[in-house]
Protein backbone atom coordinates (compact mmCIF):
# COMPACT_ATOMS: atom_id res chain seq x y z
CA UNK A 1 0.00 0.00 0.00
CA UNK A 2 1.19 3.50 -0.72
CA UNK A 3 1.58 6.10 2.00
CA UNK A 4 2.78 9.62 2.70
CA UNK A 5 4.31 11.00 5.87
CA UNK A 6 4.43 14.67 6.77
CA UNK A 7 6.33 14.58 10.05
CA UNK A 8 5.61 18.15 11.14
CA UNK A 9 2.11 19.25 12.08
CA UNK A 10 3.22 22.88 11.95
CA UNK A 11 6.16 24.85 10.60
CA UNK A 12 6.85 28.38 11.80
CA UNK A 13 9.06 30.74 9.83
CA UNK A 14 9.68 34.46 9.73
CA UNK A 15 8.84 36.39 6.58
CA UNK A 16 11.83 36.62 4.27
CA UNK A 17 13.42 33.42 5.59
CA UNK A 18 13.59 30.20 3.58
CA UNK A 19 11.01 27.56 4.32
CA UNK A 20 10.94 23.77 4.03
CA UNK A 21 7.94 21.50 4.46
CA UNK A 22 8.94 17.86 4.66
CA UNK A 23 7.38 14.87 2.92
CA UNK A 24 8.42 11.24 2.63
CA UNK A 25 6.56 8.57 0.72
CA UNK A 26 6.21 4.85 0.19
CA UNK A 27 4.94 3.36 -3.06
CA UNK A 28 5.55 0.35 -5.27
CA UNK A 29 7.48 1.32 -8.36
CA UNK A 30 8.11 4.85 -9.51
CA UNK A 31 6.08 7.56 -7.81
CA UNK A 32 4.05 10.46 -9.03
CA UNK A 33 4.32 13.18 -6.36
CA UNK A 34 2.24 16.29 -5.78
CA UNK A 35 1.97 19.27 -3.45
CA UNK A 36 -1.33 21.01 -2.79
CA UNK A 37 -2.14 24.07 -0.65
CA UNK A 38 -5.35 24.76 1.23
CA UNK A 39 -6.34 28.22 2.43
CA UNK A 40 -8.98 28.57 5.18
CA UNK A 41 -12.46 27.40 4.16
CA UNK A 42 -11.32 26.65 0.63
CA UNK A 43 -10.62 23.58 -1.47
CA UNK A 44 -7.12 22.37 -2.22
CA UNK A 45 -5.13 24.05 -4.97
CA UNK A 46 -2.40 22.37 -7.02
CA UNK A 47 1.13 23.72 -6.47
CA UNK A 48 3.47 21.41 -8.34
CA UNK A 49 4.14 17.82 -9.35
CA UNK A 50 6.95 15.41 -10.12
CA UNK A 51 6.26 12.86 -12.82
CA UNK A 52 9.65 12.23 -14.38
CA UNK A 53 12.78 14.09 -15.40
CA UNK A 54 14.55 16.81 -13.44
CA UNK A 55 14.52 16.14 -9.71
CA UNK A 56 13.97 19.83 -8.94
CA UNK A 57 10.44 20.86 -9.78
CA UNK A 58 9.26 24.47 -9.87
CA UNK A 59 5.65 25.38 -9.22
CA UNK A 60 3.25 28.18 -8.46
CA UNK A 61 3.93 31.18 -6.19
CA UNK A 62 7.70 30.63 -6.14
CA UNK A 63 7.54 27.17 -4.56
CA UNK A 64 9.79 24.31 -5.61
CA UNK A 65 10.30 20.73 -4.50
CA UNK A 66 13.15 18.27 -4.82
CA UNK A 67 12.57 14.62 -5.55
CA UNK A 68 15.10 12.38 -3.79
CA UNK A 69 14.64 8.76 -4.76
CA UNK A 70 17.21 7.31 -2.35
CA UNK A 71 15.62 9.08 0.62
CA UNK A 72 12.05 8.68 -0.74
CA UNK A 73 11.45 12.34 -0.04
CA UNK A 74 9.77 15.23 -1.82
CA UNK A 75 10.30 18.29 0.38
CA UNK A 76 8.61 21.58 -0.50
CA UNK A 77 10.80 24.69 -0.41
CA UNK A 78 10.68 28.40 -0.97
CA UNK A 79 13.69 30.74 -0.77
CA UNK A 80 11.84 33.63 0.88
CA UNK A 81 8.58 33.13 2.77
CA UNK A 82 5.66 35.54 2.67
CA UNK A 83 2.92 36.03 5.27
CA UNK A 84 0.45 35.17 2.51
CA UNK A 85 2.05 31.69 2.25
CA UNK A 86 0.45 30.79 5.60
CA UNK A 87 -1.83 27.84 4.84
CA UNK A 88 -2.18 24.07 5.11
CA UNK A 89 0.08 22.10 2.77
CA UNK A 90 -0.53 18.54 1.62
CA UNK A 91 1.87 16.14 -0.04
CA UNK A 92 0.37 13.34 -2.14
CA UNK A 93 1.62 10.25 -3.98
CA UNK A 94 0.32 7.79 -6.51
CA UNK A 95 1.93 4.80 -8.16
CA UNK A 96 3.18 4.99 -11.70
CA UNK A 97 0.56 2.56 -12.96
CA UNK A 98 -0.77 4.68 -15.81
CA UNK A 99 -4.34 4.11 -14.66
CA UNK A 100 -6.80 6.29 -12.84
CA UNK A 101 -5.52 7.98 -9.79
CA UNK A 102 -5.86 6.67 -6.29
CA UNK A 103 -3.96 9.57 -4.88
CA UNK A 104 -2.88 9.16 -1.27
CA UNK A 105 -2.54 12.34 0.77
CA UNK A 106 -0.47 13.08 3.82
CA UNK A 107 -2.03 14.50 6.97
CA UNK A 108 -0.98 18.04 6.13
CA UNK A 109 1.47 20.58 7.56
CA UNK A 110 0.32 23.98 8.70
CA UNK A 111 2.73 26.71 7.64
CA UNK A 112 2.69 29.86 9.75
CA UNK A 113 4.71 32.80 8.43
CA UNK A 114 5.08 35.76 10.78
CA UNK A 115 6.40 39.28 10.36
Partner 1 sequence: NAGVTQTPKFQVLKTGQSMTLQCAQDMNHEYMSWYRQDPGMGLRLIHYSVGAGITDQGEVPNGYNVSRSTTEDFPLRLLSAAPSQTSVYFCASSGRKSNTGELFFGEGSRLTVL
The distance of closest approach from Cβ of residue 96 to partner 1 in the complex, given in angstroms and rounded to an integer, is 8
Distance CA 93, CA 12 (A): 25
Q: Counting Cβ atoms within 10 Å, is residue 15 exposed (0-12), middle (13-18) or buried (19+)?
A: middle
Map the footprint of partner 1 across residues 83-112, applying CB under 8 A.
Answer: 90, 94-108
Which window, 10-18, 34-42, 66-74, 79-87, contacts partner 1 (CB under 8 A)? 34-42
Which window, 11-19, 35-43, 63-71, 73-81, contacts partner 1 (CB under 8 A)? 35-43
User: Does 51 help bind partner 1 (rule: CB under 8 A)?
Assistant: yes
Helix (H), strand (E) at residue 114: strand 109-114
Determine which residue in the list 19, 21, 32, 65 makes contact with partner 1, applying CB under 8 A.
32
The distance of closest approach from Cβ of residue 87 to partner 1 in the complex, given in angstroms and rounded to an integer, is 14
The count of residues in the chain is 115
Task: List alpha helices for 1-76, DSSP H.
Answer: none
The distance of closest approach from Cβ of residue 17 to partner 1 in the complex, given in angstroms and rounded to an integer, is 26
Give how far the C-alpha of residue 81 lies from the chain's centroid of Cα atoms, to the nearest Å. Answer: 15
Cβ-contact 36, 46 below 8 angstroms:
yes
Contacts with partner 1 by CB under 8 A lie at 4, 32, 34, 36, 41-46, 49, 51, 90, 94-108
Amino acid sequence: AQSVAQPEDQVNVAEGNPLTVKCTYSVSGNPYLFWYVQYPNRGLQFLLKYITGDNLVKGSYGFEAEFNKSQTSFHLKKPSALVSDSALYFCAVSANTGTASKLTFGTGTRLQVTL
